[in-house]
Each structure stands twice: as structure tokens, then as C-alpha cells.
Structure 1
Amino acid sequence: MTATSDLAGHQLAGGLDGRHVPVAVIGGGQAGLSASHRLSARGLEHVVLEKHRVGHEWAERRWDSFCLVTPNYQCQLPGFAYADYTGDGSGDGDGFMVKDQIVGYLRAFARSFDAPLHEGVAATRLAHDERSFVLSTSRGTLRADQVVLAAGPYQIPKTPRFAERLPAHVVQLHSSAYRNAAQLPAGEVLVVGTGQSGCQIAEDLHLAGRRVHLATGTAPRVARVYRGKDCMTWLDEIGHYAKGLDEFPDQEATRYKVNHYVTGRDGGRDIDLRAFARDGMRLYGRLRDVDRATGTIAFDDDLRSNLDGADAVAESIKDLVDAHVDALGLDAPPEPRYTPVWEPGDDTPTSLDPVGAGVTSVIWCTGFTRDYSWVDLPAFDGRGYPTHHRGVTSVPGLYVLGMPWQWTWGSGRFRGVADDAEYLAERIQARVARKVAA
């Protein structure tokens, strides 16, 4: 017998090579651990394989000032809500955990039910040989009757191909490698992308006194607080988190929606790109291309529409809140709506010479791609997305968990992954029962 080291020094007995398990869960983040919790509750034997350590993605691929954008009380991992983690009442349910606290929360969750976890185990190939799934790993090969893919959607950092055309002296980092302003050489910084990462990193650099150039996109925004309550709490009360994908007219478009930008930093506040511009940040439209000969960066002429679109979404959420307050007669005093503090002029630049502007760094906040190249099964569409319904894929016995909008807005978050894990655990148990009956 061998022993695989678990978090906090705990020793999990039992090797992997040659083993046959009823269920293998790939990934030891919030999704994989949630699946493990629900399987354990049913007495179903399984293993959880984690390539690194629990919490690795949060600890190693987030910047120093990173924190959640949803209130802590919405961290509802199965059987282990935020209040269970803090325990003694010292926690701030309306606050926003910073990354070290998030890592601690996840590791405490794994300990809370003694997850059958193997850390430092990379899955290298998954196939099926008509008898069972065959899973090759860095610690040997095992078989499983059923498999849950819970490795998350944010696997390979994505940068545009034209990034290679920038001048050689310009330091380029993906958002997953950014830590703080001191990491970068002196000079101005171009941040590309205005999803949550782009906006928060731009703010981090701005607060550090760096001159920031920000290439915007079409990501929406949301106010932090409206009518006396966090907007995320309003949306929770309205039922937005529980709204299933089948309730939306265009499910595919919904599944690929970009998250609203806001921040939990320093207790939480709005991120207003117009205010950044008013205070000296340079805003541009979407980055379109980099000239191969000169390194000049070209932007689309869509800055105004990007800002207006983000504001329109924020105001539409306030409309939902107003309707909810009125329908229930809640005591939530009205407040003035947002008034833009800055408008782009007709002379908004659509190009940038990085050398002339003194830009020495570029942070690519352009997202991630999925990597299921190691899964040798017909479970994916033409874009490499798993074909599934609520996590049940087109391959019998194969499941996915933790995907954004897997079923609800909360599927990829601490708020909703427990419900998805419960749904899959029921299907897994039913499949086991059918096999026993046969």
C-alpha cells in the first residue's frame, strides 16, 4: 500500500495504479469537492484527483489584491457555508474574502468531510474500453465506472496571436500571471479587456499610481449597492441565481455571457470606467490589431457604445430591484440613478504607439480556453465544449461540473455549485443502482 499526501498533512491510504473505483472525480476545487461531498453523503466510493493542491488556482493564478465579488454569505458549499467556516461568529457575511481566505475556506471544506483526495495527481488521458473508463494519471492508471470532470473552465491562458507583433522590449503578462504593480518595469501599462479581471487589475494599477491605458470590451457592469443593499443580494432575493438555463430564450448565448464587473475590494464598491478616465486613465475601444511593421496598436471606434452598454445593464438591474421593491412593498428608500461623470470626445484615439506613449507593459485580460485534449471520448461540440444537459454529457457515465452557466448563473460559483453537485450525485447513484439490479 502507498499513501498519497492530502492537505494539512493528512495521509490518504491507498494507491491509484491498477485500482478500480466506482467514481473518479477529476479536479479538487470547489466543484470537485462539492461532488465528493454529495457522493460521500450517499456512501458512494470514489476518489478525487487534484493536479496541484486544493486552492491552487486561487492561490497561484490571482493577483495579490484579489477578492470575491459576491458577498461571503453566498459561499454555500454543501454542508459548509461561510458561517460554518468562520464558526465563532467572527466572519463578515456581507464582506468579500481575499484570496488567502478563499484558499483556507476550500481546504477547510475538504477537511470537514475527510474527502478521499489525492493531491499532486495529473490526469493525462481518459478513454473507455467497453468495460469501464480508463484513466491514465501521473501516478498510474486506474479504472472507473463513472467519471466527473470538475477541472474548471479556466485552463489555458488565452492571448491573441497578434501579441507577438508588439515591440520586443514590452513586457507581456496574462492576467493569471499578474501579481502587483511592482512586478512590472517602470512606465505606462496597457490593460486589454474589461471583464472582471481587466477592470480590477486596471484599478489595482491605477491605485498604485501607474498610468494605465485600458482597451475596453462589451462586458456589462453592476452597481455594488443600490437602495441600501448589495446588488448581488438583491439578485439573490429576486431569484436570479436560481433561474435555470431553460428559462432563457437563447441558451447558447446565455451560456457564454461575460460576468458583470464590480469589486469587493476595501469592503466593496462600483467599478466605473468613466471615473477612471476622469481621473487620468486613458480609455480606448476594443483592441483590433497590432501593426506588424511598426508595433502600433489599433482599436475599434466603439468606446462610447461599450461604456453606454455597460451602464445600460447596470441600470436595467436597478429596474429589476425597483420592481421587486414595489411588488413587495419593501422599506428601501429610492435613490438617484447614475449620471455619467465622463464622456469620450470625438477625438478619442483609435491607435496607440506603445514606444511613443512610454508603454512598457501589457496585461492581457483576455480569458482562458478549455483543454479537454486528454479526454479521448466523443463528448464535445465543434468548439470543444462538453455536450451536456445539467452536467450529464452525451457519453453515459461521464459528467461535467463547475462550468459557468452549467444550469444557473451560480453554477460556476460558490453559490450554486452545490445544487449542481447534488443533481449529478443523484444521477450517479441511480446509475449504480441500475448496474446492481442488472
Structure 2
Amino acid sequence: MSNASLASQAHSDVPHRSVIIVGGGQAGLSISYYLKAAGIDHLVIEKATLAHTWRTQRWDTFCLVTPNWQCALPGHPYRGDDPHGFMKKEEIVAYLDGFVEKLGAPVLEHTEVKRVQRQPDGRYAVATSNGDWTADHVVVASGGYHTPIVPRMAERLPADISQWQSSAYRNPRSLPDGAVLVVGSGQSGAQIAEDLHLAGRKVYLAVGEAPRCARFHRGRDVVDWLADMRYYDMPVEQHPLREGVRDNTNHYVTGRDGGRDIDLRRFAQEGMELYGRLDDLRDGCLQFTPNLTANLDNADDTYNRINASIDAFIDRQRIDAPPGESYQPVWQPLRERTSLDLAASGITSVIWCIGFTPDFSWIDAPVFNGRGYPAHTRGITPQAGLYFIGLPWLHTWGSGRFSGVARDAEHVVDEIRASMTASQAAPASLAA
């Protein structure tokens, strides 16, 4: 008996679906939307509950950093009365709940996928905590932010210092009294530092290399201008950095209170303590790289460069818009401080906001590079029947966001449909 026949016999008692989607966030549900429209049987397998990340891994004052009009899940665009506002956490959850209810996807919740492996017969064996399945196609929609990054030096912090990862932070009241060290100044770090600062907490911020952008420029939201400039339609292969853009840290800005800039220099004027990158802990003192000035200057350069590109667009299109101006620093570090006495600072909490690493170790497929990132072209991997969706810059800037995931999902499902059509036609062709 052939290997394929043995595999087929072994699978005979295992439930089968044409497509299994791993992950029940907006990406996986968008795939389900197009599969349902195409009449293709499928199953969404979710480790927790649908869209649980938005419910459980966001702080209380979290809100979108892109305008509501960019929320464009398939068949479920934003229809509220504030398209240029920024939905808060509970409003985002309600928006997603509406999508879930409208979609009615076939879902298996509270089920962890343990292994995905292609079998000799071409099917995929999908082992889960709630039984085994097989599928002709597997779409990985679990995102790329799996394992929080916390440096080993965290193990050497005093036991009486409370440590949190950004996904576990909720509000200033949940932290012990005392000063807070926020490590990292990407979107999460900058917004959490602001949240604590506005609550009157003493904040020390280890500033990284994240860029920043303006909220508004020349009378409009910067996102509106960039949309008109078709930046959000640019495929990754046309970006100046090519695939390297996937490693970029997101620009920090906020939609809080109707949207505004996040200016770390202004926070410093108001009492926030800024340092460069956190490097080590020695003899009770935190050690920092002397790169605060460079990091602030580079973030401001990006801010001004984006605005200058908008200015050039306005000029080319001869648009009547209010005048703009270049950002001028409101504060400068007098010197680079490279050491901070931990006990003397009064720091009682540390919040790590330095990102996540992907973990696709449960996928047995030769499609990953040395950093554990899947090789793909617009979500289509070199291994037949295996796809990814919802990753940053999978295809465009919006691929990992509400704005662009529908386009990516439709493309992946079109590829699945083409593969199924070719597979059904193959026997007839061979017979001929």
C-alpha cells in the first residue's frame, strides 16, 4: 500500500474541512467572510475567544491611532457618526462583535492548535487541544505578536519592584504607588507613558528609536493626506525599504481626546524623565546608552519629513490648504544621562514595551527564515495549501490593520479557489 493510501486510511476517522483557519481575530474572520461567500466549507480554530486580544490585551484608555473611517472589515465598514474620530477600547470591541454576529463563522473556541503538518497525501494534519482535524488548506491568522520581549536583566531587578509587559498594563491605579519606569517608546510605550503622566505619576522613560508623526497637518489628519497620496495602497515590493519595512517600529501618535501629537520633549518639560536605551543593571544602578538626543532628533526628523511630503503633494495638486510649519524642539537634553540609581529614583514598577517575537514553532513547514518569519508573497507561501494573513506589511501598510486586511483576505481566498478548481480539473486532464 502506498504512503498516500496509508495516510488516507489513517485520516478516515478524523473530521475534515477544505480550509482550517488558525486564529479568530479580524484577519481570520475576514478569511471566513470570503470563504462563506464562495461556498467553501471551513473552520476557524481560536485558542481563546473571538477577537479576545482586543478585550484582554489593551489598557483601559486604549483607542485607535487611525481614524474610524479606516475600519473597513469586509461587509462591515464603520457606520458611526464620527468617521474622523478614534474609537475607544469598548467601541472597538462593539465594532468587532457586530462583525462576528453578522458573519456567523463556524468556530471552535478555547482550542489551541498544537501542530500543523502536511501529510504524504497532500492534506494537512491539524492537531489541537480539542481533537485532530485534516484540511486541504490552512490559513494562519494568528498574527505576528506572540511572545513578549523581556530582557534577561529583568531577572536581576529587586523582588519588590513590580514588573509588567505592555499587554498586561491596564491603568495607573493597578500599579503600586511610586515612580514608574517605562521601557520603550513605540506606540504602546509612548501612549502608556502618557497615560501615567496624565494621571500624575512620576515617569521615567527609556526612549528607543521609534519614529513619530503628526496627528494633524495643514488642516487635516495626516492619515487623510496619506490616503489621498495613495501611500496605503503601496505594496511592500514598491516601498523603498522593500521587505525591511516589516521590521520598522510603528510611529507614535495618539487618537486620545480626539487625537493629538505625542511630544516626548513636552513631557520632559512637564517633569517626565527621559533617558536613552536601557542597557543594563549594575550595582543597583540602571545603565543607559547615551543616545537620547539622537533618538529624539531622528523621531522629529521623520515627523517633519512626513509633513514635507504632504506639503509637496499639496503644491503639486494646487490644493487650497491652511499653512503648515516645521516642528521646532521645545526641549533639549542638557546632557546624556547614562546611569540612574534605582533605589533613589523611587521606581516601584517597570513596564516593558519593547515588542513581541513571532512563534510559529507549531507549524511544521519549510517556509521560515532564520528569524522565524514566513516566506510568502502576499500571504501565499512556497508550500502548497499554506497561507498567512494579518501580518504587518503582508502586502501593504494596512495588512495588519482594519483598513487593509479585507483586500488581503480576498486575495488569499481567490488563491484557494483557484487551487481547488485546478485540483478538481486535474483528473479530467489526466484522463484526456
Aligned to 1:176: 167
Aligned to 2:355: 367
> What whole-Å deviation, never above 9, does each CA across 1:11-43 have from its counterpart, x for those lacking one?
xxxxxx821111011111010011111111111
Which ranges of structure 1 fall in alignment gaps of 5 or more residues? 1-16
Aligned to 2:327: 338
Tell me the amino acid that sits aligned with residue 111 of structure 1.
Answer: E
Matches of 1:379 and 1:141, distance apart in 2: 23
> What whole-Å deviation, never above 9, does each CA across 1:400-425 have from its counterpart, x for those lacking one?
00000111111111011111111111
2:223 matched to 1:223? no
Matches within 5 A, 1:373-412: 373-412=361-400
SS in 2 for 1:298: strand
Tell me the amino acid that sits aligned with residue 268 of structure 1.
Answer: G
Per-residue deviation, 1:44 = 1.2
Tell me the amino acid that sits aligned with residue 308 of structure 2.
Answer: D
Per-residue deviation, 1:252 = 3.1
Per-residue deviation, 1:222 = 0.5
- Retained in 1: the 8 A contact 2:181–2:203? yes
Q: 1:188 aligns with which of 179, 183, 190?
A: 179
Matches of 1:177 and 1:363, distance apart in 2: 9
Matches within 5 A, 1:32-431: 32-83=28-79, 86=80, 91-131=81-121, 132-291=123-282, 294-346=283-335, 348-431=336-419
Matches of 1:162 and 1:382, distance apart in 2: 25
- Retained in 2: the 8 A contact 1:22–1:145? yes
Per-residue deviation, 1:249 = 3.8
Per-residue deviation, 1:337 = 2.1
Report how many residues are paired: 413
SS in 1 for 2:349: strand
Per-residue deviation, 1:295 = 3.2
Matches of 2:135 and 2:105, distance apart in 1: 18
Tell me the amino acid that sits aligned with residue 107 of structure 2.
Answer: L
Tell me the amino acid that sits aligned with residue 233 of structure 1.
Answer: D
Tell me the amino acid that sits aligned with residue 186 of structure 2.
Answer: G
- Retained in 2: the 8 A contact 1:19–1:142? yes
Matches of 1:342 and 1:249, distance apart in 2: 32
- Retained in 1: the 8 A contact 2:22–2:139? yes
Per-residue deviation, 1:283 = 0.2
Matches of 1:394 and 1:354, distance apart in 2: 50
Per-residue deviation, 1:126 = 0.7
Higher helix share: 2
- Retained in 2: the 8 A contact 1:165–1:295? no
The alignment-based identity, stated in percent, is: 53
Aligned to 2:7: none
SS in 2 for 1:126: strand
Matches of 2:100 and 2:174, distance apart in 1: 33
Tell me the amino acid that sits aligned with residue 138 of structure 1.
Answer: S
> What whole-Å deviation, never above 9, does each CA across 1:245-282 have from its counterpart, x for those lacking one?
11124323211111100001111110000000000000
SS in 2 for 1:205: helix
- Retained in 2: the 8 A contact 1:263–1:270? yes
Matches of 1:156 and 1:108, distance apart in 2: 29
Runs (4 or more) in structure 1 with deviation over 3 Å come to none
- Retained in 2: the 8 A contact 1:354–1:360? no
Per-residue deviation, 1:374 = 1.1
Matches of 2:166 and 2:59, distance apart in 1: 8
SS in 1 for 2:265: helix
Aligned to 2:9: none
- Retained in 1: the 8 A contact 2:161–2:349? yes
SS in 1 for 2:296: helix
Per-residue deviation, 1:134 = 0.4
Matches of 1:178 and 1:333, distance apart in 2: 39
2:20 matched to 1:30? no
SS in 1 for 2:415: helix
Per-residue deviation, 1:146 = 0.3
Which moves more between the two structures, 115-124 or 298-307?
115-124
- Retained in 1: the 8 A contact 2:237–2:243? no
**Please, what TM-score do these two structures have when normalized by structure 1?**
0.92
Matches of 1:284 and 1:41, distance apart in 2: 52
Matches of 1:139 and 1:70, distance apart in 2: 37
Per-residue deviation, 1:108 = 1.1
SS in 2 for 1:246: helix
CA RMSD after TM alignment: 1.1
- Retained in 1: the 8 A contact 2:236–2:243? no
Tell me the amino acid that sits aligned with residue 49 of structure 1.
Answer: I
Tell me the amino acid that sits aligned with residue 241 of structure 2.
Answer: D
SS in 2 for 1:410: helix
Q: 1:18 aligns with which of 11, 14, 17?
A: 14
- Retained in 2: the 8 A contact 1:188–1:358? yes
